[in-house]
Structure 1
Amino acid sequence: MYRNLLFNRLPVKLLHREYQLPKVSCFIKALTNNNLKVRRISISVVCWKKRRSEEEKAAVSQGRSAIRYSPKAGSEVVGIWRNMTVQDVADVLKKDIDHVFKVLNFADKTGMTYTKDTVIHNPQVVRDIVKISGCRFKLVARPDAEMKDEENKDAVPAPPAAEEALRPRPPVVCVMGHVDHGKTTLLDALRDTAVVETEFGGITQHIGAFEVKLPSGGKVTFLDTPGHAAFTSMRSRGAHSTDIVVLVVAADDGVMEQTLESIRMAREANVPILVAINKIDKPGVNVERVLRGLAQHGVVCEQAGGEVQAVPVSALRRRNLDALLEALTLQAQLMQLRADPAGQVEGVVIEALVDPRTGKQATVLVRRGTLRRGCTLVAGAGWAKVRILRSAEGASIEEAPPSCPVVVLGWRELPAAGDLVLEVASEKRAAEVMRWRAAQRMKEKQQSDSEVIEAKMSEHQQRYRAMLSRKRAMGRYKLKPEGPREKMIKEDTHPALNVIVKGDVDGSVEAILDILDTYDDHERVRLDLVHFGVGQVTPNDLEIAEAFNAIIYAFNVECPPAVAADAKDLNISVRKHNVIYRLVDDVKQEITARIPVTQTEEVIGEANVLQEFMVSEGRRKVPVAGCRCVRGSLAKNALYKIIRGQETVFEGKLVSMKHLKEEVPTIKRDQECGLKFDDPEARVQPGDTVLCYRLRDVAPRTDWDPGF
């Protein structure tokens, strides 16, 4: 029952797919005859029709699928998923619906009646359909599920509340101004505290939020921002989170750099300005000069015919504070500040930190709704199930209405300062939002990475084309390597400073990173930030520092004793600082220490050439320069230059220095001498200048200016 089939130029796959042969043996021979390729395929098969019918009858009688031929390697691979419909199977197989119905009679023994929309719940049935159809399968996600994943699952603010749901709320006031103009002292006077005495270096380095009760019974929420030039991001964040900006200007200093920056930020945030002219108790101050300085930059106060309220105060003596609070209350009444105390909570993260005892916590300014214990919040890349709410004074509270600053504990992941805080329905919803945001961040990173990869590929292609052009121009000759094999592996010997930054709060770390971003002296020393974070120094930080040979800068955080001991054993430097400009000075010193030492020429003497003499040494004549020292002194062991006009014709050392006929070590001013140089080819002419100099090592300093 065997027969031989001879085919010419007929693909084997076509035969296998058409006849569903259980076994195929083929021999392919390529013969060349008169430059013409002829392909012959010899196939021996069993009489498959009779054999297949017998197998089908036996399979049906045993209650199993009739056709179970496994597809061969090279068959088409199709994607399948759970709960496919009959139409889905037909679509992935690229067959008509009748083909699937016919195969289902063999693949499904339950006798179920199928339509094109019937869901096939048994995955084995789908696998059998694919195999019988001569294909292989792989498990994939449902196509509509992939489309569903593309939907925006992020948490967004609720639409504006109805007019009847709005209620009056306290104003949020941000105190801004130049460093050392008395902002924190003014706030201490308003709330009867002494925060300024606890600040390192006498400057504010964090953004603070607290409430002040007015004599009338109302409340005002104050935000204290740093005035130092390093904390620009904190000031900008405070200006965009407030209703009114109190611009503190010292009467003795007037308008300064950070004063102008605060005015610009208030205008960008579109919030009204109220001026507090501080330090009026100092002798010789001129308030009118301050008003004129403000008017020159567009802040025209009422005393000068404008609309901006200006209140002269003395925070140290606590004078005119009532007038300042009255001005704030009046401004708030004119603005008619209202919010919806019900509904979903909305707010903004003022500051975030990791406390060694209580864990992750963030100061949140509530803008809408009432924040209570048990709420689920999302903010940036962090989310929380609120466990504890604390006021600015540290007292535990049950709820926080609009315009109330509150410390929130219970964060699973720490948010960043400035992140928008939104309440969600459940922890499941919070996890969904976090997954979606993480996916979006990954997509953004992939996009940025792809741009870098494309740029690198383009650069590589350009180099390759240039090399190929050179190779083709050389013909049969090969390009030689650039150097020996040992030198082809280039090591990076450029001096570098690797740093790890750990800070007490997110805002401080942000300020330090902003300062490091201004570094622009990478040609001499490269500054690399290998890691940063909020909280104490951890063993993980030591591992990173050891791998990158980095210095750990701990700003306002402690290094546990066990970690400090490990750092000492590993010879890792941990620098603790609590004032930001001292930390920056330390970084500048480390950069300066890594700049290679340069040598400069220090001229110690100068001589004029009077005449050249040819002196006999044995059988040869050597030139000797007859000179007179006209400035400084000449030393035999120094270096020399011969300058002719504007050109240097010789650089080197002396072999002999003689005064009259005696060898001398030095020649003083106005003395004549004979100089013989170590190069016999060095010739002088009358009128040439001979410079005597030494090379002095100079340790240069970095030119990096962080802006303060």
Structure 2
Amino acid sequence: MGHVDHGKTTLLDQLRKTQVAAMEAGGITQHIGAFSVHLSSGNRITFLDTPGHAAFSAIRERGANVTNIVILVVAADDGVMKQTVESIKHAKNANVPIILAINKCDKPEADPERVKRELLSHDIVCEEFGGDIQSINISALKGENLQALSEAIVTLAEVMELKADPAGLVEGTVIECRTDKGKGPVTTAIVQRGTLRKGAVLVAGRAWGKVRLMFDENNTMLSEVGPSMPVEIVGWKDLPSAGDEILEVESEQRAREVVDWRTDVEEEERIQKDLEVISAKQHEHREAHRKTLDTFYGMNWKQKNSALYKTSRHLIPQRTSERITDDNPTVPLIVKGDVDGSVEAILNVIDTYNAEEECELNLVHFGIGDISESDIVLAETFNGSVYGFNVNANKTVQQLAAKKNIPIKLHKIIYHLVEDLKEELNSKLTPITEEIVKGEASVLALFDVTVGKKVTQVAGCRVQKGALEKKLKFKLKRNNNVIWTGCLSSLKHHKNDVQSVKMGVECGLNLDDDDIEVKVGDEIICFEERTISRKTSWDPGF
């Protein structure tokens, strides 16, 4: 665990001699991965590679709860960062011991001692400071000192006497889940007790399945899986949720009974919560009604009618404001992700949305798997957009979306998806019109000028600031109050029509509104209107 881009996946690549980091979008891990590493000493360690990005907090917490040991990876040049602190908190909440791996020690700006000092404030005390946290300086990129890290893990595991029973019914945890076109619902899991074999009947959350196929992280088919081994399980009837506990049961009938019972319990809990909300609302209405009756105490019927009328009249603007609120711009969206953890991370980001007064964000639907035609139809119904994370939309779906003018926005990096969503929110906000003052003039005298048979009033002015430009808009101010806004019908300098008059120059001008009477001492303000795009105040935190 650790902060984004501190080298967690590169470290695993060196231990496994693979190139996972190079294949990650943007070089950033965006899923939780489970890998089994065989050390030269003959020991085998299962690693969970968790994302370091801020959006994947729930995945990191889930990873900490499953593991026996947390390797805290901190870059020697960056030091302790936000997700480093969060990872420490998750490890402590799960009561899991920590080994500190200070990475990127090959860099000239690396300062491992500074990292250790910074961690002291987070109650991570290394052995050289009298604590019990093992600290190893490494370079994941160059493969330096990884043997010492492996030995530290094995030593701590021996001290903790980590053991599991390979006999009995299987117990495990769902690490990640997804829908595969050929395999159907697929889960990545860690077996924590027992030995998993083909044909085993499993229950996880409100889903059950009979194991048809099992694969390791290299997509090699397995016949059995023992404790602490990562495995990809095929055969689920429905997709469980990441973090669900896996239990083996004796038969399919028993699995159905367990799932039905769990579904009934959840439904009862939901109904109970709804009843509590209804009860609270009823109590609130009763209290409001009682207060209303208290205000009528001692009144005759005429006074009561008068008070009721005043109460009703007071409610009218509230109803109007409610109608105005309903007219607020709305962004309906559908979210599809490749695995449960990805969708969970995006929903957690959306949960932080707090700018409803600017624009409503309406999550219409979310799910796992590629974007389908039904997603496009649903988006058309709500006039929304479809956001996909690490998924695809086939040609038929894209043609349907183009025909119905439904935007499909596909992303492989989560903060790009969030930035795209913020841009869509910004586009819905009404632009602000800003007035930029270009010039100011004061009225020194008034003249009546005859044009044909019509007598018009001309204001003799001197430009005090900037310049007056005939093509722009003007304001007439008297005693600091704006009494007119509009355009000029004429702007003259020495009887000549001009388009602009600079500071210090006298001019004559005529307003385009004959009903407005100009007086000596009035101010003429020349201004330009400029439209500025608004930006949402929502800050997702990264």
TM-score (norm 1): 0.69
Compared with structure 1, are the counterparts of its residues 634 and 448 closer, same or farther at alpha carbon in structure 2 (3 Å cutoff)? Answer: farther
Q: Where does structure 1 lack aligned partners over 5 or more consecutive residues?
A: 1-175
1:600 aligned residue (434, 443, 455):
434
1:632 aligned residue (439, 449, 466):
466
Structure-2 separation of matches of 1:703 and 1:413: 39
Shift of 1:197: 1.2
**Count of residues paired in the alignment:** 527
Q: Is 1:558 aligned with 2:392?
A: yes
Structure-2 separation of matches of 1:614 and 1:454: 76
2:519 aligned residue (665, 684, 692):
684
Structure-2 separation of matches of 1:639 and 1:225: 59
Shift of 1:308: 0.8
AA of the residue aligned to 1:535? G
Aligned to 2:414: 580
Aligned to 1:668: 502
Structure-2 separation of matches of 1:642 and 1:273: 72
Q: Is 1:505 aligned with 2:330?
A: no
Q: Any residues of structure 2 matched to 1:210-289 within 5 Å, and which? A: 210-289=35-114
Structure-2 separation of matches of 1:682 and 1:335: 92
AA of the residue aligned to 1:684? K
SS at match of 1:389: strand
Aligned to 2:305: 472
Contact 1:354 1:360 (8 Å CA) reproduced: yes
Q: Is 1:545 aligned with 2:379?
A: yes
AA of the residue aligned to 1:566? L
Of 436-445 and 451-460, deviating more is 451-460
SS at match of 2:487: strand
Structure-2 separation of matches of 1:694 and 1:374: 76
Contact 2:484 2:516 (8 Å CA) reproduced: no
2:12 aligned residue (171, 180, 187):
187
Structure-2 separation of matches of 1:643 and 1:453: 56
Contact 2:3 2:53 (8 Å CA) reproduced: yes
Q: 1:544-576 CA deviation, whole Å, 9 max, x = no partner?
A: 112112211121112223323322333222222
Compared with structure 1, are the counterparts of its residues 333 and 201 closer, same or farther at alpha carbon in structure 2 (3 Å cutoff)? Answer: same
Structure-2 separation of matches of 1:422 and 1:594: 48
Shift of 1:318: 0.9
Q: Is 1:529 aligned with 2:354?
A: no
Structure-1 separation of matches of 2:236 and 2:444: 87
Shift of 1:460: 8.1
Aligned to 1:25: none
Structure ranking higher on relative contact order (CA contacts 8 Å, 6+ apart): 2
1:520 aligned residue (354, 366, 370):
354
Structure-2 separation of matches of 1:491 and 1:253: 46
Structure-1 separation of matches of 2:274 and 2:106: 59
Percent identity, please.
Answer: 49
Structure-2 separation of matches of 1:621 and 1:286: 85
Shift of 1:526: 1.4
Compared with structure 1, are the counterparts of its residues 474 and 264 closer, same or farther at alpha carbon in structure 2 (3 Å cutoff)? Answer: closer
Compared with structure 1, are the counterparts of its residues 641 and 450 closer, same or farther at alpha carbon in structure 2 (3 Å cutoff)? Answer: farther
Of 327-336 and 518-527, deviating more is 518-527
SS at match of 1:397: coil
Contact 1:622 1:680 (8 Å CA) reproduced: no
SS at match of 2:61: helix
Structure-1 separation of matches of 2:274 and 2:491: 67
Aligned to 1:141: none
AA of the residue aligned to 1:695? E
Shift of 1:539: 2.2
Structure-2 separation of matches of 1:268 and 1:645: 66
Compared with structure 1, are the counterparts of its residues 455 and 652 closer, same or farther at alpha carbon in structure 2 (3 Å cutoff)? Answer: farther
Aligned to 1:342: 167
Q: 1:237-296 CA deviation, whole Å, 9 max, x = no partner?
A: 111111111011111111111111111111111111100111111224222112212223
AA of the residue aligned to 1:433? V
SS at match of 1:339: coil
Aligned to 1:124: none
Contact 2:443 2:459 (8 Å CA) reproduced: yes
Structure-2 separation of matches of 1:662 and 1:449: 78
Contact 1:380 1:419 (8 Å CA) reproduced: yes
SS at match of 2:87: helix
SS at match of 1:541: helix
Aligned to 1:156: none
Aligned to 2:229: 404
Q: Where does structure 2 lack aligned partners over 5 or more consecutive residues?
A: 297-302
